């Protein structure tokens, strides 16, 4: 369901599909629903929900992802119709954050956001009983809603709140540890490149292009780094690491902002930022500005040189590409899809990376 234009809805659904793929799913089909307002019961309305159930049957899908934030009752009502798991946009994004969170702070921030999401969604025994009996959700109303289930749920809620306060305290105490981590990384003398940009901009395609066969880092030198970090080489044979970051998404739910930011910390610790932009997107300038605004909040990013990678040039309007080139002199035009411009990009990366003698030895205090 969408309130925007058909084109906005298409862009949004493509982004959702890219998010799902990032989370490791295979996307089978998409359905658009246009209505004046979302249906309070099933979000999509019963007709569209039935259509969705047929698609689920035909494709053998095991999950439905809705491009919105569903009320807990809407999600359950939809699950009753499609008979497979239904998740909403926030749950999908949280899943991706959990996969990407590396630092202790990142992990704590993501867990905090997950618990915040879970808290209002815990289902009591009384609630499910009244739903079965009357087909309506009426927590806390009438007989059966004060049973042992309700006590158990209160207990779970209390436990979650306790855990959340603990996480908040831990996060508050973590900042000094970060600076130390950065110093120890610098001492490794291996330059690192971070790739950032919107979901669907082509970050992982570019990562694959730059790392050739896409070999995972196995060298002992890199062993302490995350497994998603790849090793690459400059044309003149210098090693560097290349790390994909969590993609930006349109209208990130506010309760996820902190968790998202914490997954981007590694950008502040890298030697070069490749900021990937989809130049075939309707508003590439807006996306560049949004990415920069968020990155500016991250510790250390001011010191990291940025190279804009104008991607998807094969399907973009050449005038738009020319306009962006003028606006962003520090940019390279490529197509991760056809490979055009990739050699040029490799040269630019090589030129931007610090030489071994420039990688300073920082002594950890
Ligand atoms: P990510 O979400 O930023 O990692 O983006 P992906 O690398 O997963 O790419 C998103 C979609 O855009 C995929 O369907 C890619 O095949 C497609 N894509 C990536 N780069 C290009 C490109 O240069 N040209 C075209 N036409 N499509 C591309």
Question: Measured from the CB, is residue 335 less than 6 Å from ligand 1?
Answer: yes
pLDDT at residue 176 in the model: 58
d(CA 201, CA 59): 27
* Selected residue with higher pLDDT from 250 and 303: 303
Nearest ligand 1 atom, CA 335? 23
Does residue 274's CB lie within 6 angstroms of at least one atom of ligand 1? no
For ligand 1, the distance from its centroid to the CA atom of residue 205, given in whole angstroms, is: 6
Ligand 1 centre distance from Cα of residue 202 (Å) = 4
- In whole angstroms, what is the distance from residue 221 CA to residue 190 CA? 9
Query: Is pLDDT above 80 for 360?
Result: no
Model pLDDT for residues 118-161, shown as the tens digit of each residue: 888 876 443 444 444 333 444 444 455 555 567 778 888 999 99
Residue 337 Cα to ligand 1 middle (Å): 7
Report CA(362)–ligand 1 centroid distance (Å). 38
Q: Which atom of ligand 1 is nearest to the CA of 313?
A: 23
139 to each of 144, 145, 286, how far by Cα in Å? 10, 7, 43
Pocket test of ligand 1: the residue of 200, 276, 281, 321 to mutate, having most ligand atoms within 8 Å of its CB, is 200
Task: Examine the pLDDT at 325 and tell me if it is beyond 80.
Answer: yes
Please tell me the CATH superfamily of domain 189-358, with its number. Answer: P-loop containing nucleotide triphosphate hydrolases (3.40.50.300)
Verify whether ligand 1 is closer than 6 Å to residue 247 (CB atom).
Answer: yes
- Examine the predicted complex and report whether its ipTM is higher than 0.95: yes
Q: With pLDDT > 90 as the criterion, what percentage of the chain qualifies?
A: 44
Q: Is the CB of 312 under 6 A from ligand 1?
A: yes
Query: Residue 199 Cα, ligand 1 centroid: separation in angstroms?
Result: 9
Q: How many CB atoms lie within 10 A of CB 71?
A: 17
Query: For residue range 198-226, what is the model confidence (pLDDT) as tens digits?
Result: 988 999 889 989 986 444 444 444 444 45
pLDDT at 324 over 70: yes
> For residue 285, what are the contacts with CB-CB under 8 A and spacing of at least 6?
324, 327
CA of 351 to the centre of ligand 1 (A): 25
Query: Which carries the bigger pLDDT value, residue 172 or residue 359?
Result: 172
In this prediction, residue 65 carries a pLDDT of 92
Find where tokens 């890199």 sit.
222
Q: Write down the mean pLDDT value for the chain.
A: 82
| 247 backbone dihedrals φ, ψ, rounded to 5° | -70, 150
Q: Is the domain covering 6-96 a CATH 3.40.1350.10 domain?
A: no
State which ligand 1 atom lies nearest to the alpha carbon of 19: 2
- Whole-angstrom Cα distance, residue 212 to residue 191? 18
Q: For a pocket test of ligand 1, which of 21, 202, 287, 291 has the largest count of ligand atoms closer than 8 A to its C-beta? A: 202
pLDDT for position 134? 36
Predicted TM-score (pTM) of this structure: 0.78
């Amino acid at each position: 369901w969408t309130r925007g234009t058909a084109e906005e809805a298409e862009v949004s659904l493509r982004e959702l599909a890219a998010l799902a793929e990032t989370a490791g799913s295979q996307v089978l089909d998409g359905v658009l629903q246009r209505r004046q307002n979302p249906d309070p019961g099933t979000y999509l309305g019963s007709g569209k929900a039935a259509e969705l159930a047929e698609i689920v049957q035909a494709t053998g899908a095991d999950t439905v992802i809705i491009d919105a934030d569903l009320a807990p009752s809407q999600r359950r009502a939809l699950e009753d119709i499609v008979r497979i798991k239904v998740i909403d946009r926030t749950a999908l994004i949280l899943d991706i954050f959990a996969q990407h969170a590396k630092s202790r702070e990142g992990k704590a921030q993501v867990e905090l956001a997950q618990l915040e999401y879970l808290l209002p969604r815990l289902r009591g025994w009384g609630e499910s009983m009244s739903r079965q009996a009357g087909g309506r959700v009426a927590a806390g109303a009438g007989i059966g809603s004060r049973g042992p289930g309700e006590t158990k749920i209160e207990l779970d809620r209390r436990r979650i709140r306790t855990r959340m306060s603990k996480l908040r305290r831990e996060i508050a105490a973590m900042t000094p540890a970060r600076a130390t981590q950065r110093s120890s990384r610098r001492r490794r003398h291996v330059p690192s490149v971070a790739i950032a940009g919107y979901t669907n901009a082509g970050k992982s395609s570019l990562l694959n292009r730059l790392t050739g066969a896409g070999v995972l880092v196995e060298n002992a030198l890199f062993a302490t780094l995350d497994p998603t970090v790849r090793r690459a080489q400059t044309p003149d044979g210098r090693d560097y690491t290349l790390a994909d970051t969590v993609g930006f998404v349109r209208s990130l739910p506010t309760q996820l902002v902190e968790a998202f930011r914490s997954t981007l910390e590694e950008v502040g610790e890298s030697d070069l930022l490749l900021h990937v932009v989809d130049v075939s997107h309707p508003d590439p300038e807006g996306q560049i500005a949004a990415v920069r605004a968020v990155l500016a909040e991250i510790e250390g990013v001011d010191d990291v040189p940025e190279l804009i990678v104008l991607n998807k040039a094969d399907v973009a309007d050449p005038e738009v590409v020319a306009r962006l080139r003028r606006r962003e002199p520090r940019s390279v035009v490529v197509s991760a899809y056809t490979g055009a411009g990739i050699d040029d990009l490799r040269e630019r990366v090589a030129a931007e990376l610090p030489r071994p003698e420039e990688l300073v030895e920082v002594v950890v205090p």
